[in-house]
Structure 1
Amino acid sequence: MPHRSDRSPSSPSPALPSRDALAATLRAAGCVFAEDEADMILAAANGDPCAVEAMAARRAAGLPLELVVGWAEFGGRRIVVEPGVFVPRRRTEFLVEQALALAPDASVVVDLCCGSGAVGAALAAALGGVDLHAADIDPAAVRCARRNVESLGGHVHQGDLFDALPARLRGRVDILAANVPYVPSDEIALLPAEARDHEPRVALDGGTDGLDVLRRVAARAPAWLAPNGRLLIETSPHQTPGALTALTDAGLHAELAVCEDRPARVVIGTLGGAG
């Protein structure tokens, strides 16, 4: 019997939806920035109507836009984002900006709890020629980070915090960026569905008060930082006092940087006092 395709050769191909029509679909699904999202989906689909339909359906079902199109903008770069990996937040660009302002001549950079590797990639791209290392405990994050970090000459390691890093980095790290999970365990259920349902819990859950991982990082950071090296960790307003205490208890000079516009808060620990 002759093979017959599902669609007759004479059947018309589906039409590419207009931007306005796609935006209306997205807006009906609750997308606040529907027009911008429509533009991103149309660009990612590259003229394929079936791809547009599939991506619009995934977005309408609640999948984060970045996972729908496969990338997130961060630090002026397109960062590859894969399913099951934490989506980098634009507010975390403030951490990158602080690191660059404080250590513009950094030569060794570590991105702990790296997720997609967005922070490390942004730092390496701005600094140029650095010895970049990123690490995460989650295999999915490590696979994704390699796509963003290795093209910049960086290295990605899998393991629990500092245990993942090469021993040769001890005492040599100029910038230690750690975007640790800091949502208290009993507040995970209160997160927006995009994060709660589509991002790994290990990237969100910071323990009882949200500071468990931060304390672990702070306690071991001095052994890895170079003289005047900086530890930078994003935190929340109500966790700031505890975060600063953790840095001070570890023997670091602790400071707070705040950006009200994004909003973002970063605690900064310096080995050897203020720079």
Structure 2
Amino acid sequence: MALLHADRSALVHRLRAAGCVYAEDEADLLIAAADSAATLTDLVDRRVAGQPLEHLLGWAEFCGLRVAVDPGVFVPRGRTALLVAAAAAVAGPAPAVLDLCCGSGAAALVLHGRVAPRWLAAADIDPAAVACARRNLAPLGVPVYQGDLFAPVPTGWRGRLDLVVANAPYVPTDAVALMPAEARLYEAPVALDGGSDGLAVLRRVAIGAAEWLAPGGQLAVEVSDGQAEALRAVLDGAGLVPTLVHDEDLDATAVTARKPA
């Protein structure tokens, strides 16, 4: 869709005034997504009102892939590239992999190409996330289960998984209100709220992973830097052996935890 330079400049100005840090890039993406001037106006109005860019476009870029993201579904963050890299580094050959709290299925989508799993599945408790993940993962033949953590996963895999990846919610309840509006207003609360200290879901993931992992299997999770030591203690208590990984450039912290052989 062709726009006069003046039109693009005005659009960039509106986006920048609304607080969009990458206003020029966002303007180009919105222009490319619009099939008419009216559609573009609607997209820009909704973005200025605070809706996530990814929900407006219908996709997010993650680890070099374009991942479909439906309205209301957790948008994969750039920092989660560290979690995926840490998981791939400990995966071992032809692993059996489960992506918990999968959201759009972004981590599973990337891991499918990186670790050549013999079995790969994803799970989430949010119906909207499950529907979105199924759309992303169905072409790869990857099943997506709906339910609470390990509960919907076929029991035949209990004690046989080589890798469990979980981008579980870890924002403390009181801090959710301090998150950017595009997250707290437009993403499912269940994908954000990690309980009073942010570790409520991760505690349950650790306990479940100790049961579902094969001996020598690995759990990989994301957490804030300030929570890492507390999470290490949780993993120790679950009988897992944790290793912390931090990336200053991504401002990201991941933890892998091995089930002893």
TM range (shorter): over 0.9
Matched, 1:143 2:137: no
Q: Secondary structure at the match of 1:190?
A: coil
Residue of structure 2 in register with 1:195 after alignment: 183
What aligned pairs does 1:6-25 form with structure 2 within 5 A after superposition?
A: 16=3, 18=5, 19-25=8-14
Residue equivalent to 2:152: 164
**What is the CA RMSD across the aligned residues, in angstroms?**
1.6
Deviation at 1:227, TM superposition (A): 2.5
Q: Secondary structure at the match of 2:196?
A: coil
Aligned match of 1:29: 18
Using the TM superposition, give the Cα deviation of residue 22 of structure 1 relative to its aligned residue in structure 2, in angstroms. Answer: 2.2
Identity, % of aligned pairs? 53
Tell me the amino acid that sits aligned with residue 71 of structure 1.
W
Q: Secondary structure at the match of 2:102?
A: coil
> In the alignment, which of 43, 55, 68 is matched to residue 55 of structure 1?
43
Q: What SS class does the counterpart of residue 24 from structure 1 fall into?
A: helix
CA distance in 2, matches of 1:146, 1:164: 15
After the TM superposition, list the runs of 4 or more consecutive aligned residues in structure 1 that deviate by more than 6 angstroms.
Answer: none
| Structure 1: tracts of 5 or more residues without a match | 1-13
SS state of the match for residue 230, structure 1? strand
Secondary structure of 2:159 counterpart: coil
TM-score if structure 1 supplies the norm length? 0.90
Q: Residues 170-249 of structure 1: matches in 2 within 5 Å?
A: 170-249=158-237
SS at match of 1:221: helix
Pair member with larger Rg: 1
Per-residue deviation, 1:49: 2.1
> Greater relative contact order: 1 or 2 (C-alpha under 8 angstroms, separation 6 or more)?
2
Query: Residue 71 of structure 1 aligns with which residue?
Result: 59
Partner of 2:73: 85
AA matched with 1:214: L
Give the TM-score, by structure 2 length: 0.94
Count the aligned residue pairs: 259
What is the alpha-carbon distance in structure 1 between the residues aligned to residue 24 and residue 45 of structure 2? 16
For structure 2, which runs of at least 5 residues remain unmatched after alignment? none
Aligned residue in 2 for 1:5: none
Aligned AA (2:223): T
